[in-house]
């Protein structure tokens, strides 16, 4: 098989990239951006060799334990559970939380064959029951899969006597009822808080 | 900058990949398909080192002159001009042409800063005036840019006394007038052939 076909085939490991896109990418890399392509090959190789999961929070890191988990300034009694490192970054950007995290690196998704075992929820259980954590805040997405994950994780941790909470769902800040989807408005009504 | 951010940045050399997609790709490669990622890094490096342009037809190849151009069975008096290697493959799939090719590796596109000079049309001119080629068949796309390219290339080669033709435009084989766009029907009418 010609090397060009090998390259097109190899590019298809990228999520959401079919044969046509892979072909366009191969042409682009070989024709228009050989320097960027070389950088990509090198960075990918280096990343595969050096990036691992944090022993404590499971996020991507180059050290055994990431900077955040080794920071004594963070409040170790709170543990926030998120799906992906990008969700962790969003939480951090709010600057409203100074506890620690646990990154699931996915969500329960039966259609993709991802259940509690594949998500290695026993690792989260071990992490949350370290006798220091007092509250677990579940911040998975409000999609069907994120909700199912939240439900499963919540039950699992409550059974061990941990205090568990879920971030609030409702009308977005600055949102007008008229432009908010009905399901969200209904939930916001049902989960109204006393003043 | 953490290595993960480097990887996300490096993935953005891929055409059509923004920051969100690059992040998703990085997670996928590190989390779900390290083997495929390693294969991609290696293949990309090898391809960059070994794939070049055919000295004769300008397509991607690993040899100085590609197999097709060195094949004495092909009719060297006909030269078909296409935009990309994928177009060449389509022409070959029809099994209706046994001449040679010239691959422009692009098209004239003023908006992208690609003119005759960037397309290195002087190389095509040198190739077509080798005293063996008798007919040049222009098979660029029927897009605005492909048509502009065809026009420019056609004028350039006709000025050198070469016989130039353009592949036909019209209603697709098996196509019904009712389901063909009006521009195509109008063109097919204007370019009707005597029986």
Is 70 exceeded by the pLDDT of residue A194?
no
Instruction: Report residue A191's pLDDT band, with 50, 70 and 90 as the boundaries.
Output: confident
Is 80 exceeded by the pLDDT of residue B193?
no
Q: What are phi and psi of A185, to 5 degrees?
A: -65, -45
Beta bridge partners of B82: B103
Task: Supply the pLDDT for residue B29.
Answer: 95
- Cα(B136)–Cα(B102) distance, rounded to whole angstroms? 10
Distance in Å, alpha carbon of B43 to nearest chain A alpha carbon: 6
A-to-B residue pairs, Cβ atoms closer than 8 angstroms: 139
Side-chain-side CA neighbours of A195 within 13 Å: the count stands at 0
Distances (CA, A) of B185 to A16, B169, B172, B179, B181: 36, 10, 10, 10, 7
Is 90 exceeded by the pLDDT of residue B183?
no
Is 70 exceeded by the pLDDT of residue B194?
no
Task: Supply the pLDDT for residue B90.
Answer: 87
Q: What percent of chain B has pLDDT over 70?
A: 99
Q: Extract the tokens encoding A77.
A: 């009694």
- Cα(B111)–Cα(B118) distance, rounded to whole angstroms? 13
Alpha helices in B32-98 (DSSP H): 34-50, 85-93
Please give the average per-residue pLDDT across B142-146, as a whole number. 90
Give the model confidence (pLDDT) of B65-82 as tens digits: 999 999 999 999 999 999
Choosing among A13, A36, A52, A68, which should be mutated to test the B contact, i.e. which has the most B CBs within 10 A? A13
Task: Supply the pLDDT for residue A168.
Answer: 84
Assess contact for B59 and B85: CB atoms under 8 A.
yes
Q: Is B21 on the interface with A (CB under 8 A)?
A: yes
Judging contacts by C-beta atoms under 8 Å, the chain A residues touching residue B60 are 4, 27, 30
Structure ipTM: 0.78
Q: What percent of chain A has pLDDT over 90?
A: 74
Is 80 exceeded by the pLDDT of residue A25?
yes
Higher pLDDT, A179 or B114: B114
E strand residue ranges, chain A? 52-53, 60-61, 75-82, 99-103, 135-138, 163-166
Q: Across all residues in chain A, what is the average pLDDT?
A: 92
- Cα(B130)–Cα(B139) distance, rounded to whole angstroms? 20
Is 90 exceeded by the pLDDT of residue B186?
no
This prediction has a pTM of 0.78
Closest-CA residue to B172 (of B151, B152, B187, B153): B187
Would you call B51 and A62 a contact, using CB atoms and an 8 Å cutoff? no
SS3 B52: strand
Task: Supply the pLDDT for residue B192.
Answer: 77
Is 90 exceeded by the pLDDT of residue B177?
no
Element (H, E) at B79: strand B75-82
SS3 B124: helix
SS3 B11: helix
Residues of chain B numbered 161-190 and touching chain A (CB < 8 Å) = none
Give the model confidence (pLDDT) of A29-45 as tens digits: 999 899 999 999 999 99
For the beta carbon of residue B43, count every other beta carbon within 10 angstroms. 19
Would you call B47 and A7 a contact, using CB atoms and an 8 Å cutoff? yes
Assess contact for B78 and B137: CB atoms under 8 A.
yes
Distance in Å, alpha carbon of A35 to nearest chain B alpha carbon: 9
Beta bridge partners of B114: B109
Would you call B44 and A29 a contact, using CB atoms and an 8 Å cutoff? yes
Task: Supply the pLDDT for residue B107.
Answer: 93
Please give the average per-residue pLDDT across A133-152, as a whole number. 92
Residues of chain A numbered 55-114 and touching chain B (CB < 8 Å) = 60-62, 84-86, 105-106
Would you call A60 and B33 a contact, using CB atoms and an 8 Å cutoff? no
Would you call B60 and A11 a contact, using CB atoms and an 8 Å cutoff? no
Q: Across all residues in chain B, what is the average pLDDT?
A: 92
Assess contact for B170 and B184: CB atoms under 8 A.
yes
Nearest to A4 among B27, B34, B47 (CB): B47
């Amino acid at each position: 098989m010609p090397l060009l076909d090998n390259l097109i085939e190899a590019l298809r490991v990228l999520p959401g990239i079919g044969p046509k896109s892979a072909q366009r990418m191969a042409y682009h890399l070989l024709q228009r951006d050989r320097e960027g392509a070389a950088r990509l090959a090198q960075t990918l190789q280096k990343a595969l060799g050096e990036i691992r999961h944090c022993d404590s929070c499971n996020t991507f890191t180059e050290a055994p334990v990431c900077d955040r988990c080794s920071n004594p300034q963070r409040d170790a009694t709170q543990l926030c559970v998120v799906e992906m490192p990008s969700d962790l970054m969003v939480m951090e950007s709010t600057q409203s939380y100074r506890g620690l995290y646990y990154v699931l690196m996915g969500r329960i998704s039966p259609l993709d064959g991802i259940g509690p075992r594949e998500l290695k929820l026993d690792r989260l259980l071990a992490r949350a029951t370290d006798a220091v954590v007092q509250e677990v805040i579940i911040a998975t997405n409000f999609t069907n899969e994120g909700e199912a994950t939240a439900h499963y994780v919540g039950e699992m941790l409550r059974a061990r006597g941990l205090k568990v909470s879920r971030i609030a769902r409702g009308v977005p800040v600055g949102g007008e009822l008229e432009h908010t989807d009905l399901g969200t408005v209904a939930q916001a009504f049902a989960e109204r808080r006393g003043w």
